Structure formats: C-alpha cells, structure tokens
C-alpha cells in the first residue's frame, strides 16, 4: 500500500526537476491515486521540493556514482524516500519497501537495488549527514545559494525568519465574501463543521484556519461565501479602495483572487485582463461562484492594444508576474523552478506592463503595484525606476501593521506575520 502514491509523487517531482510546476501537474496526477493516498501524495511532492536542496546534498553523499541526468524519476523517488525517512512519521521500513516497489511501478527494475541501498545507507549514516548538512548555509536552510544570497542582501535582519518560514507548511486563510456573509457567521458555520478559524488583525475579511481543510469541506464555499486567499493578498483591495461607480482595471487578474475581492467591496465596473486563456477561464469560474461580474479580456498588458486600452480608469491594479519568492511556503517548487537569471527578465516584464498601463490611469486616479516577491529588483527598485521616468506619478504612503519599509513601498515578509510575502506601492497620477 502506498507504492503507487510514491511512484506518482516521483512523476510529479520529476516534472519539477524538468521545469514544470506542481500546480500544473499535480491535480491530474492526484486523480490517479486512491482518495486515501492523496494527502500522502501531496505531502511527498511539496515536502520533497521544500527540502530538495538538503536532500540533493545527502543524495550526492550517498551515491557511489552520480545518476544520469535523464533519470529524473529515479532521482525524484530517491529524494522523496529521503524526505520520508527524515521528515515524515512513516515507519522507515515502509518508506524503504514502498519506495523500492515504486521503482518497479515506474518501470525501472534496475533501480530497485539502488533505491534500497541508498535509503538504508542514509539510515546508517544519518547522524553524520545531519551534522555535515548543518555546515553549509544553503544546505542548512534548504534554499538555493543564489536565492539565499539575494535574500540575505535584501533583508539581512529578517532573512533567517523567512528561511525558517520557507521550511514550514503553509497556513490556510479564507476570505469571507461580505456580500454574502460576515466574519462571525462564517466562523460559526466553520466551527459547527469542526473547523477552527480565527480573524486576522488588520485584515477585516480574513479567517485563518488552525488546520488546512479541503474546500469541499468548507461550509459556504460552493455558495460563494468563502474564497481561499492568503492574508497578504487581501490587502490589495483595501489599499486600492475603489468607490462605488468607479471604473477599475485589474491587469494581471488570473485566477481572479483580487478581482473577486475588489468586486465584493464596492459596486465597480471592473475590467479583468490576463494574457493566459486557461487562467482567464478560472477568473470566470471564480467570479461565477461568488456571484460577481466583470468584463474579462484576453490581452497582453504590455501592449497598447485591445478594447481595454481604449478606456481610462479611476483605479488600476498591477499584480505583476514575478518570481513568486514571497509565496514559496505555499509553492515549494519555486525553490527548484526559479533561476537567478529569471529575476532580471521578470523585472523587465513588470516594467513594460507598468509603462504601458500608466497612461490609462485618469489624472487623480490611483494605481497599486503588487508583487508576491521579496526581492528589491522586482519591488522597491522597480518603483524607484518607474518614478524617475514618470514625473506625473506620486507615492501615496501605505500603513500596514507588521510590514517593513522598502524604499517607496511596503514589504510583508513570510515568517514575520500571518502572511506570505507581498510588496505594495500605491501611486497617484497628478493632474496635468
């Protein structure tokens, strides 16, 4: 029992090693394992990615000869085997025998002996391996060296807390749809279903769950009373603060988390853009469930074309594509997928979107720039460059309790509050 889940986990992790995200592959793979094994499958995938840098280091010590690069699935199976032995309360003999069986299920009979030997060897050498892992900064924190370096340079005092948070399982936060419910009644309904939830100071629509629960179990989810949204992502709507009757543009909208929140808070005319058709379809689904409507448009926000570009707006939300380093706790595969060289390219993409969108903001209107990155290149430095090029932009100060000042913006850091890492800068367009 469990060998199948381990084989499927190895496929999903191998996908990450090849460059595909877990959120792309895991939902389809989950369908292929028995419902009782799905939690194990998710745990193996997320946990192995969370600790991959350390697990890879151990694997390097345990293998007599390096594995061939193309053996992604065997490598993934070994990583998840090591993860189980060190970080899960699975009996070691089960972790080893089921991983060995999984090698057969993957059609790799040649790897059966190897998997068995590496995992047993880990058990024998564990104490020494733990000590040596503690001596190398990147291995100790299970964080790629490039990211560790950037984080320590950007946030020298907070870096250790962030790194610790990146090794924890994420909390689950809900947003209560104030058009259909309120915090106290939502909390009472959850409690009646055996789900403990607490309000979050400073985030009036948020309820944080003591333990994550599948959305099907959340009373009121199907009826659009609740959404799953991290606390950090819930500040955008309040900061942009659109008023009834205003025209609002959400330029990087999918899957529609912040679009939904904006519409729950005010009677606005919302245009939601995204460049990705499949993701835009999810905006439609999410808004339908919440009983909200927006004009959806498939468009590239860095190009001055499309119906959206023929209007002016009172409020613009730019929730830019970014490194997602702020949400690593939730998406541990980011540690493996992101490369140092991505940061500059992402910063250029963000700058193109900002420059293109700015002229569509009415004089006196406000634009909120948001990223779920913790890196200044995508955040404070991005904003400083933008302000230097746009004399008609002025910064509106933001007061978020628990956030750190970051140049002309405000940075929430994981591990330093009940949220993922988000950066915000609010700009007003001066009248001409």
Residue 209 sits in the site that holds ligand SAM (CB under 6 A): no
Residue 345 CA, distance from chain mean position: 19
Cβ burial of 17 (10 Å; 0-12, 13-18, 19+) is: buried
Residue 326 sits in the site that holds ligand SAM (CB under 6 A): no
Considering only residues 103, 165, 253, 343, which one is a binding residue for ligand SAM as defined by CB under 6 A? 253
Pattern 178-197, ligand SAM, x by CB under 6 A:
--------------------
Considering only residues 256, 376, 409, 421, which one is a binding residue for ligand SAM as defined by CB under 6 A? 256
Nearest to 227 by CA among 276, 291, 275: 291
Considering only residues 353, 374, 406, 408, which one is a binding residue for ligand SAM as defined by CB under 6 A? 353
Pattern 216-245, ligand SAM, x by CB under 6 A:
-----------------x------------
Least Å distance, CB 411 to ligand SAM, is 16
* Closer by beta carbon to ligand SAM, 275 or else 387: 275
HSE, side-chain direction, 13 A CA sphere, residue 335: 28
Least Å distance, CB 190 to ligand SAM, is 22
Residue 56 sits in the site that holds ligand SAM (CB under 6 A): no
* Closer by beta carbon to ligand SAM, 153 or else 345: 345
Residue 387 sits in the site that holds ligand SAM (CB under 6 A): no
HSE, side-chain direction, 13 A CA sphere, residue 18: 14
* Closer by beta carbon to ligand SAM, 253 or else 380: 253
* Closer by beta carbon to ligand SAM, 73 or else 250: 250
Residue 301 sits in the site that holds ligand SAM (CB under 6 A): yes
* Closer by beta carbon to ligand SAM, 48 or else 286: 286
Backbone torsions φ then ψ of 365, nearest 5 degrees: -80, 170
* Closer by beta carbon to ligand SAM, 2 or else 256: 256
416 is catalytic: no
Least Å distance, CB 213 to ligand SAM, is 20
Residue 356 sits in the site that holds ligand SAM (CB under 6 A): no
Considering only residues 189, 279, 355, 362, which one is a binding residue for ligand SAM as defined by CB under 6 A? 279
Residue 138 sits in the site that holds ligand SAM (CB under 6 A): no
Residue 333 sits in the site that holds ligand SAM (CB under 6 A): no
Considering only residues 81, 321, 414, 415, which one is a binding residue for ligand SAM as defined by CB under 6 A? 321
Least Å distance, CB 228 to ligand SAM, is 11
Least Å distance, CB 372 to ligand SAM, is 6
Q: How far apart are CA 252 and CA 318, in angstroms?
A: 6
Given 45, 252, 322, 372, the catalytic residue = 372
Residue 275 sits in the site that holds ligand SAM (CB under 6 A): yes
Considering only residues 15, 170, 224, 255, which one is a binding residue for ligand SAM as defined by CB under 6 A? 255
Q: Catalytic residue positions?
A: 372
Residues of this chain that interact with ligand SAM (CB under 6 A) are 233, 251-258, 273-276, 279, 300-302, 319, 321, 353, 372
């Amino acid at each position: 029992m469990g060998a199948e889940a381990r084989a499927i986990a190895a496929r999903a992790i191998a996908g990450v090693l090849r460059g595909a995200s877990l959120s792309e592959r895991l939902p389809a793979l989950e369908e292929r394992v028995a419902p009782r094994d799905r939690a194990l499958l998710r745990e193996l995938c997320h946990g192995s990615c969370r600790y991959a840098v350390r697990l890879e280091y151990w694997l390097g010590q345990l293998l007599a000869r390096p594995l061939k690069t193309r053996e992604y699935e065997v490598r993934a199976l070994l990583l998840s085997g090591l993860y189980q032995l060190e970080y899960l309360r699975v009996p070691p003999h089960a972790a080893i025998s089921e991983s060995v069986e999984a090698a057969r299920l993957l059609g790799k009979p040649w790897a059966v002996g190897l998997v068995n030997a590496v995992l047993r060897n880990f058990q024998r050498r564990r104490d020494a391996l733990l000590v040596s892992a503690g001596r190398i900064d990147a291995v100790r924190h299970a964080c790629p060296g490039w990211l560790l370096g950037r984080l320590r340079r950007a946030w020298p005092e907070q870096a250790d807390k962030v790194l610790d948070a990146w090794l924890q399982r994420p909390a689950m936060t809900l947003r209560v749809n104030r058009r259909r419910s309120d915090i106290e009644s939502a909390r009472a309904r959850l409690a009646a279903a055996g789900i403990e939830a607490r309000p979050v100071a400073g985030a009036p629509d948020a309820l944080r769950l003591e333990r994550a629960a599948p959305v099907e179990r959340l009373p009121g989810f199907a009826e659009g009373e609740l959404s799953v949204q991290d606390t950090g992502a819930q500040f955008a709507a309040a900061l942009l603060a659109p008023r009834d009757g205003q025209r609002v543009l959400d330029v990087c909208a999918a899957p529609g988390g912040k679009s939904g929140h904006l519409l729950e808070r005010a009677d606005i005319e919302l245009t939601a853009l995204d460049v990705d058709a499949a993701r835009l379809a999810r905006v439609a689904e999410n808004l339908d469930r919440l009983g909200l409507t927006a004009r959806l448009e498939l468009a590239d926000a860095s190009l001055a074309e499309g119906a959206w570009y023929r209007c002016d707006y009172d409020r613009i939300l730019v929730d830019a594509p970014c490194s997602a380093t702020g949400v690593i706790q939730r998406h541990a595969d980011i540690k493996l997928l992101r490369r140092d060289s991505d940061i500059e390219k992402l910063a250029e993409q963000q700058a193109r979107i900002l420059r293109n969108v700015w002229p569509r903001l009415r004089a006196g209107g406000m634009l909120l720039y948001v990223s779920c990155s913790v890196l200044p290149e995508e955040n404070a430095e991005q904003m400083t460059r933008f302000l230097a090029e746009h004399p008609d932009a002025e910064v509106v100060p933001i007061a978020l309790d628990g956030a750190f000042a970051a140049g002309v913006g405000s940075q929430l850091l994981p591990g330093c509050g009940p949220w993922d890492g988000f950066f915000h800068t609010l700009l007003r367009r001066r009248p001409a």
